[in-house]
Amino acid sequence: MVHLKKTIAAWAYEAGVKQVVDVSGIAASFPNRTSAIGTKSYEAEQAIYNLPNRGAFVALRPGRFMSNVLVFERIHEDAIVDKADPNAREGWVSTNDVGAIAAVILSEDIEKHGDSVYELISDVVTPTQRAEIFSRVLGRPIKYKKITTLEKYDMLMQHVFNHSIVFSLCTSYASFDHRTPTVTDGIQILLRREPETFEKFITDNKHLL
């Protein structure tokens, strides 16, 4: 990922592109080398940032994508399955918000955003609240099933992820507490509207569930 992003950005700048917007990840904000995802995301950002004679570089750091529930975090046997405590607060970001923010940045004056970094969380919900939202939207009871870390690891490995990525997604951190997510109110400034809620995203994508 690091080499690929650096190469694409270098080609773009060499071709005369004045601004690059990179979709990185919230884990790039974590302490250095605490997760494989965060390390790769941060190294990719730095590789672009340190390019000689580059233009502007804006990094977007989204949290957990709401679209994950349409792919590898789908409802299974009328249940959503995860390792988190039922009432644990979790940060989610709408891919619609991410795309809209990228479009806004690319359409505005380059100097306005410069080399900004934007962390993006659209909504904060617990697993219990997620189950309640699915139940309302789908019109049938959806429960939350808590599983072990190992069970989640084995489940995600079935989707052909590699060990380092899945390990980062499944495990807790000893050096810091990331379980205090907050909606990033900067989204309201960038989009001039409230961020999309988890329930709105699920309602709009009901036909895909």
3-state secondary structure 66-98: HHHHHCCCCCCCCEEEECCCCCCCEEEECHHHH
Q: Report whether 178 contacts 40 (CB < 8 A).
A: no
Largest CA distance in the chain: 56
Structure confidence at residue 116 (pLDDT): 98
Q: Report whether 118 contacts 101 (CB < 8 A).
A: yes
Summarize pLDDT for 79-133 with one digit per residue, the tens.
999 999 999 999 999 999 999 999 999 999 999 999 999 999 999 999 999 999 9
Number of separate domains in the chain:
1
Kindly provide the b/e burial profile for residues 50-73, where b requires at least 16 CB atoms within 10 angstroms of the residue's own CB.
Answer: ebeebebbbbbbbbbbbbebeeeb
Structure confidence at residue 35 (pLDDT): 86
pLDDT at 166 over 70: yes
Question: What is the arithmetic mean of pLDDT over 149-178?
Answer: 84
Summarize pLDDT for 7-64 with one digit per residue, the tens.
999 999 999 999 999 999 999 999 888 889 999 999 999 999 999 999 999 999 999 9
Structure confidence at residue 177 (pLDDT): 66
Q: At what angle do helices 163-170 and 149-157 cross, to 10 degrees?
A: 140
Reduced to 3 states, what is the DSSP secondary structure of residue 148? coil
Question: What is the arithmetic mean of pLDDT over 139-148?
Answer: 97
pLDDT at 176 over 70: no
Structure confidence at residue 95 (pLDDT): 97
pLDDT at 179 over 80: no
Reduced to 3 states, what is the DSSP secondary structure of residue 59? strand
CATH number at residue 28: 3.40.50.720
Structure confidence at residue 15 (pLDDT): 98
Query: Average pLDDT, whole number, for the chain?
Result: 94
Structure confidence at residue 184 (pLDDT): 92
pLDDT at 180 over 80: no
Q: Report whether 63 contacts 93 (CB < 8 A).
A: yes
The boundaries of the domain holding residue 76 are 2-208
Look up residue 154 and give its two tokens.
């084995």
CA angle at residue 34 from 33 to 40, to 5 degrees?
A: 50
Which single residue is written with the structure tokens 């961020």? Answer: 195
